[in-house]
Every structure is written in C-alpha cells, then in structure tokens.
Chain A
Amino acid sequence: LAKTTQPISMDSYEGQEVNITCSHNNIATNDYITWYQQFPSQGPRFIIQGYKTKVTNEVASLFIPADRKSSTLSLPRVSLSDTAVYYCLVGDYGQNFVFGPGTRLSVLP
C-alpha cells in the first residue's frame, strides 16, 4: 500500500481557500486517491476521489499532477464548520483503506 504524508495541522480563516497537499511517492498504477473528512466523535465522510488530473464536486476539488506522486485537496471559501480532520488515502480497489494521522484543519473567524 502506498504510504501518504500530509501536514499534521493547518490554520485558515473563514472565507479563504484551503489547499491540503498529500504526498504519495510510491503510488501504484492502479491506485486511486481518496479524501475523507472527520468531525469529532463521528465517522469519516467521503469527500472526493480521483485517479489523475482534476476532479471537482459540490464540496471540493482534487488536483493530481501527471506523475501522481502528490495530490491537493482544495476547499473553496471555508467556514467554521469545515474545521475537521482530513485524511488522504491511496489504494487499489481491491485493497482496504489505510488511514494515516490526517490533517487537522482549524478554521478561525
């Protein structure tokens, strides 16, 4: 399984765009990149998944460069309710999720 590295924590202010970058240097050809969000005492919630280039949904965008050795989750105009832990996961469809420590995002007023 490809190992991922993310910043342990980030601070932002309401209304700003937040970009969280995840490194996965040994990503395999069949691996997908998935991001989850978790609030305290709740289960993780799926945000977005991609394989290459850019994926966008109503919540976030995921940017994946051509070499796929990293990915960036972009959250537009964050609010206080976006304060959470964000996990980057990499794996093939035949594998199970391996959660790292994630990035603790704090959105300040």
Chain B
Amino acid sequence: KAGVTQTPRYLIKTRGQQVTLSCSPISGHRSVSWYQQTPGQGLQFLFEYFSETQRNKGNFPGRFSGRQFSNSRSEMNVSTLELGDSALYLCASSPKPGHTEAFFGQGTRLTVV
C-alpha cells in the first residue's frame, strides 16, 4: 500500500510569491491534515479536511488555505509568502477525522528568500 505522497519535496520561493503544495493520502483515507514545522514553533496544526470539507483550522492567517478534492487528494496554498513561512510542511492522512492513527508524508521543505 502506497504511503502519503507530498509534492514537491523541496521548494524555493521569493517573498511575495504564492505557493501550492500537494498531498495524496493513503488509498481509502478520507481525512487529510496539514502541519507546519519550524525549529522555533515545533509542529503546528494548520487545518484538516474530511470529505472535501474543512473540519478544523489552526491559528494561522488567512494567507494559508487549503482544499480537498473528491479523490481525497489535498492541496494547501500560501499567498504573499513571508520569510517566516520557511518551514517543513507535513501532510497526514487517516481513515477518519480526529485523534486516530495518522500517517504522515515526508513533507515539503519550503524556503522563502
């Protein structure tokens, strides 16, 4: 069974640009969550999607958005990039939403210059 796939693995963007990250969950999993990990703040929850609906959202500005498609694949978008958005962005999938066993992808390392 294929794991969670995140693309791209690495990305370099310039301040002010926007970026879209992609996550393909494990087949059959309908819940996808996104996290931001930085050395200073650790792992922080961004949002969760289940059956194409945003179920929960963390404490991030509106520049961070996401969506989920009917095949459960998810994308997150960050607009007007800031230097502080440089981080490892992780996607996790699980069969159902909430505090169940989640399977994380390798992440996308975003560097904003």
Contacts and interface: CB of A to CB of B under 8 A. Distances in A.
A68 to B, nearest CB: 15
Q: B interface, by DSSP: helix, strand, loop or mixed?
A: strand
**Which bracket fits the contact residues of B?**
20 to 34
Interface string B66-95: 000000000000000000000010111000
B107 interface: yes
A42 B102 contact: no
Interface in A64-109: 87, 89, 91-102
B42 A45 contact: no
B105 interface: yes
B27 interface: no
A24 B90 CA distance: 26
Nearest to A100: B42
Interface residues of A, number: 24
B103 interface: yes
A91 B107 contact: no
B101 A49 contact: yes
A58 B33 CA distance: 27
Nearest to B57: A96
B45 A97 contact: yes
Given A98-B45, A100-B42, A43 B99 contact: no
